[in-house]
Chains A and B, each alone.
Chain A
C-alpha cells in the first residue's frame, strides 16, 4: 500500500559506478522511504527504476552520468534535476500537505491522494471522526456543507439531502458496495443506523457517480471505508462513551455506548479483526409526560468481523457486518371504563425491530494482464419488523393490534456482484472497465403481492487520458439494463487541469439517474380516504450535472492556506411525483411529471498555523421546482438557501490536547405551495423552514500512552425545533415545527488502546 506512484524520466551522458542518492524530507531532514525513481540515460543506452530504502537511500550501479531525474512520491512534491557528475547526492523533497492516510478510493482507478483525483473528493478522516465523538454517520456529517439532515421522531430515523436533492438520490456505500436499508439499496438511508466504529474514513463525492456506481447517486456518493489492516501485531481498543440527552442523564436516561475492537496479524499473510458496539439511547422525554417520550428509545448492537489473506500481489477478504436495532415507542395512557365503572387504562405501544446482515467477499490485486483488478460478491439482508401492541396498564396484558398496517415486516435482500479491471496502456492513458450485477428482492405489507424483484446488469468503462501539459481527461460510459425500466446509456466526462503552485481546476459533467423505488413501482394502499397505487411503467428520473471546482494552496508568511471555489448545477427531468391516475380518477399513482433543478455556489478557505488550523466555507444553494407545466413565469425561479460552516482546531502539543470547534449555519429553506383559487387562477404561498445555528465543542487528550479521552458538548446553542410556516392546515397537520435535536448535550468518551508489536 505504501508503494509510491511514480513517474520519472532520466537522461544521462557518461557512465560511472556505484553512486548513492539519499532522499530526505526537506523540513525534518528525515530519510524518505519508498520514493520510486525511474531513470534513463540521455543517450538512451540505459534506464531503470529504483525505490529508496528505509534510510532513504538509492544505489545507482553502472550508470552513466550525467542523468536527468524526476521523482514523485504520494506524500512529496515531485523533484527533477540533471545530475551531471558521478558522485553521491542528497536530495531534499518537499512534503505535500496530504498525509499518507489521505488515500482515497471512491471512483479511482488506483488508490491515490484526493489532490490527484480527477474529480473532487471530500474526506472526513479518522482524526475528525474521533474529534467529533461521532458514533453514527449523521453525527459525522453534522456540519458538512451542502448536506442537510432531517429527523423522524417516531421511528428515530435521520435522513439527508445533498446539493438540495433528496436522500433518495444520495447513495451510501460501505467499501464501494451499497449499504442496504429499508427504503433502498444504498439510497434513502437512515443515517442513525450507520455506525462508524470500524470505519477508517468517509469519502464524499458530490455529483452523480453513475458510471461507476449506477442508479440513485444523482446527488452524490458517501463511501465508508472500513479498516482492513493494522500497524501492529495486536491492537485492542475498548471504548466507553456516556452522553446526556438534552439535560436528561442516568441509568434510565441518556445515551450509553460501549465498544470493543481487536485487530490481529494471525500469520505472515493473514489478518483478522472483530468489533462490537452497543449503543443504548434511552430516549428523550422532553415535553411529553408519563410513559411517552418525544424521542423514542433506541438500542443498537453492531458487530463486524474481517478475515483477510494477503498473498503476493493479491488481497482477499471476507467481511461480515451485523446490526440489530430495537426502537420502543410507548404510547400514552388512554382511559377505558369497564361497565362496573372501574378504569383499566390502556396504551398502544409500537416497536421497530431491525436486523441487517452484510456478507462481503472481495479480491483485489495485480494480474499478468491487468495493472489492478477488484472483484466482489456481497449479500445484504435487511429486515424490519413493525409491531403494534395494546397494553392493559392495570393487568399488564398485551395484544397485537389489528388495524391495517399495524403489523408489518419489510425486507430488502440484495445480491451484488461486481468487478473492475484497470490497465495502464501507457504513461498517459489508463483504462478502467467494470461490471455490476445486482439482484434485489423487496418485501412488505403495502407492496403488491407482498414481494417484488428488481434486477440490474451493467457494464462500464472509463479512460484517464493525460492529453498534454498535465491536463487529465476522464470520459466514462455505463450501459445498464434493468428488469423494471429497460436500458440506459450513461455518459460522464471529467477534466482536471493543474496550474502553477499546485492549483487545480476540475470540471465535471455527468448524467445521473434515480431508479423508481419498489414503493413507487408496486405500492398499494387503499383506505376510506386514500387509493394510492404504484406505477409499473415509471421511467427513472434523469439528471444532468455540471460542476467546476478550483483550489489553490498558498502561503502567507508561515501560514499555509488553501482557497477553493466551486459551482454546481443539477437539472432533473421526469422527477417522480404523485398524481391523479390518468385511467382512474378516483385513485392516485406515481408518475414522471416534475422537473427539479438545483444550483449552488460555494467558497472555502483553510488556514494552518503551527498549532492552529481553521477552515471556513460558505455555500449558497438554490432549488427550483416545477410542479406543473403551466406554471406561471414568476414562479419559475430558484429559492436560495445559504449555509456556512467553520472548524477550528488548536493542538496544544505540550499537554497532548486538541481543542475543536465545529460550527454550521443552515439557512432558512423556502419553498412554495401553489393552490387553485378560482378557475384558472393560482395562488402561491411561500413556506419557510427556519434557519438554525449548530455548534459543537470538543476537547481530546491522550494520556498514559494508551488512553484517549474526549470531552464534548454537542448542540451548544440548544436547538430543538425550528418553525415551519409551510405546513398547511387540514386533517394532516403534524404541527408547525420541525425537530432538529433534543437539545444541548454533553459527552465523555474514554478509549483504551493497546498495541503490541
Chain B
C-alpha cells in the first residue's frame, strides 16, 4: 500500500508536469534571409479581385498599371492581321456563318448564353457531359500566345470572307458581366477596320485602327474606341494578370479557366528560362550560368508555376513556389535573374500583392 501511495504521488506529479509543458517556442529565433541589394518591386495587382494588369520593365524598374476590364480587343501591329481577345476578362468568341452585321439578331446566338460563358463552362462539369464542351477551348486565344491560335481567324483581304463574331465580353474585376457584342474585322489600307454593334442592333459602328509598330498590339474598347493598354513593345518584360488559361479536366480535355496570379511575358522581345533551386541557388547564380539554359518565348513560361495555391485537405500552403526562380532575357539582351519573394500581402494575407526581386547578371 505504501508502495502504491508513492506511485500515486509520482503519477500526480507527472500529471502536473504534463499540464505545464505547454510552452511553444517556434518563433524565438526565426531564420531570416538577409537584406538584399537586388531590385524589389511590389506589383500593384490590386488585391483579392486582382483588377489590374501590371506590366513591369526591369531595366527602368517601372511598372505600368492598367485595369484589366478597360479594353476588349488587341490589334496586332506586326505584319499579320490578327486580333486578340481580352483574356484577363475571360472574353470568349465564336464566328457565325454570316458576314453582314445587320443580318445578325438574337436568334443567331441562341444557346450561347448557357455555353459561351466562363462560369457556364465550369458549371457544365457538374452534370452529364456536355456535347459542346470540347469546343470551348477554341473560344479563347491559345494560352501560349501563338498568333495562329487566336480565336478570331486571320483577317482576310477579301472582305466577304470575314465572318461576324459573337463576343462575350467577359467579366469586370468585381465579377459583373461586361455584356455581349457582335463584330466583324476587315483590312483597311495598312490597318484594320472594325464593324461592331450590340447583338440586336440593326445598324453598326465602324472604327479605323492603324498599326503603330512601337507596340505589339493596338487596343480597342467597344465603348471608348482606341485605348492605351500595354506599354511600348521595348518597354516591358513581364506582366502580372488574371489569365484565362486552359485547365486540363482529365487526360485529354481542357477548358478555359481563369487563373489568378498569372505571369505572362512580352512576346516580341523577351525569353525566359526556369531554373530549379535544386540546380542553382539564386544567390550564387551568375551570368556564366545563364548561357546553358533553354529559353522560351511561350507567353506562359512563368504562368502559374511560380506560386502554389493550397487545396482543402492538402498540406500545401498558399504562397511562392520555393523550388524555382527564373532568368529573363530582355529586348536589350540583358539577362536578369528573377525571384518571386511573396504572393500575399504580409498583413492582410490577401492574394494580389506579389513582390519580386531581380538582379542584372553582369557579363
Contacts and interface: CB of A to CB of B under 8 A. Distances in A.
Nearest to B315: A153
Contacts of B313: 152-154, 734
A574 to B, nearest CB: 16
A120 B18 CA distance: 42
Interface centre among A297, A334, A685 (most CB of B within 10 A): A334
Interface string A333-349: 11111011111111010
Interface in B232-280: 242, 247-253, 257-260
B348 A290 contact: no
A328 to B, nearest CB: 8
Given A280-B22, A335-B342, A581-B123, A401 B348 contact: yes
A653 interface: no
Given A333-B31, A341-B35, A585-B113, A529 B122 contact: yes
Contacts of B160: none
Contacts of A390: 344-349
A714 interface: no
B207 interface: no
Interface string B321-363: 0000000000000000000011111111111000101000000
B189 interface: no
Given A526-B175, A731-B259, A580 B348 contact: no
Contacts of B34: 343
Contact of A240 (B3, B18, B123, B311): B18
Given A335-B341, A390-B347, A403-B351, A587 B119 contact: yes
Contact of B131 (A342, A343, A680, A683): A680
A62 interface: no
B247 to A, nearest CB: 5
B130 interface: yes
A260 B19 CA distance: 13
Interface centre among A343, A393, A586 (most CB of B within 10 A): A586
A82 interface: no
A238 B48 contact: no
Contacts of B341: 334-337
Given A528-B242, A580-B123, A734 B311 contact: yes
B169 to A, nearest CB: 14
Given A290-B31, A403-B349, A586-B120, A678 B260 contact: no
Interface string A451-477: 000000000000000000000000000
B339 to A, nearest CB: 9
Nearest to A336: B346
Contacts of B60: none
Interface centre among A153, A337, A734, A739 (most CB of B within 10 A): A337
Interface string B29-55: 011111111101000000011100000
Interface centre among A328, A335, A704 (most CB of B within 10 A): A335
A149 to B, nearest CB: 14
Interface stretch (B6-14, B77-85, B148-156, B192-200): B6-14
A526 B314 CA distance: 22
Contacts of A399: 347-348
A343 B7 contact: no
A630 B131 contact: no
Interface residues of B, number: 88
B251 A735 contact: no
B102 interface: no
B258 A683 contact: no
A334 B342 CA distance: 6
B201 to A, nearest CB: 24
Interface string B98-121: 000000000000000111010110
Nearest to A293: B315
Interface string B217-228: 000000000000
Contacts of A677: 134, 252-253
A679 B304 CA distance: 30
B294 interface: no
Given A299-B22, A332-B317, A335-B341, A406 B349 contact: yes
A752 interface: yes
Nearest to B248: A729
A258 interface: yes
B250 A673 contact: yes
Given A258-B19, A278-B18, A529-B258, A343 B250 contact: no
B317 A676 contact: no
A394 interface: yes
Contacts of B311: 732-734
Contacts of A577: 126
Contact of A403 (B7, B48, B113): B48
A675 B254 CA distance: 11
A404 B349 CA distance: 11
B318 interface: yes
Interface in B125-161: 126-134
A683 B251 contact: yes
Contacts of B258: 528-529
Contact of B15 (A240, A579, A676): A240
Nearest to A288: B315
A754 B7 CA distance: 12
B33 A343 contact: yes
Contacts of B120: 580, 585-586
A683 B250 contact: yes
A577 B342 CA distance: 37
Interface string A235-253: 0001010000000000110
Given A260-B15, A578-B126, A677-B134, A585 B250 contact: no
Contacts of A360: none
Nearest to A340: B35
Given A336-B346, A391-B27, A585-B123, A750 B18 contact: no
B48 to A, nearest CB: 6
Interface string A723-746: 000001111111100010000000
Given A288-B315, A704-B3, A752 B11 contact: yes
Contacts of A705: 4
A585 B35 contact: no
Given A578-B126, A586-B120, A588-B123, A348 B344 contact: yes
Contacts of A251: 21
Interface in A371-400: 388-394, 396, 399
A730 B31 contact: no
Contact of A678 (B22, B134, B312): B134
A684 to B, nearest CB: 10
Interface centre among B113, B248, B310, B314 (most CB of A within 10 A): B314
B164 interface: no
Contacts of B343: 334
Contact of A675 (B15, B36, B253): B253
A331 interface: yes
Given A341-B36, A630-B128, A336 B315 contact: no
A109 B274 CA distance: 71
A348 B353 CA distance: 14
Contacts of A299: 22
Contacts of B113: 585
A730 B249 contact: yes
B30 A154 contact: no
Given A258-B19, A348-B349, 18 more contacts: A153-B313, A153-B314, A331-B317, A335-B355, A337-B341, A337-B357, A346-B342, A390-B349, A402-B349, A580-B126, A585-B123, A675-B129, A679-B131, A730-B248, A731-B247, A734-B316, A752-B7, A752-B8
Q: Give 10 nearest A-B pairs by CB, closest first.
A: A401-B349, A676-B129, A734-B314, A586-B119, A585-B114, A734-B311, A675-B250, A585-B120, A580-B123, A346-B346
Interface of B: 3-4, 7-8, 11-12, 14-15, 18-19, 21-27, 30-38, 40, 48-50, 113-115, 117, 119-120, 122-124, 126-134, 171, 175, 242, 247-253, 257-260, 304, 309-320, 341-351, 355, 357
5 contacts: A291-B30, A528-B171, A578-B126, A685-B250, A729-B248
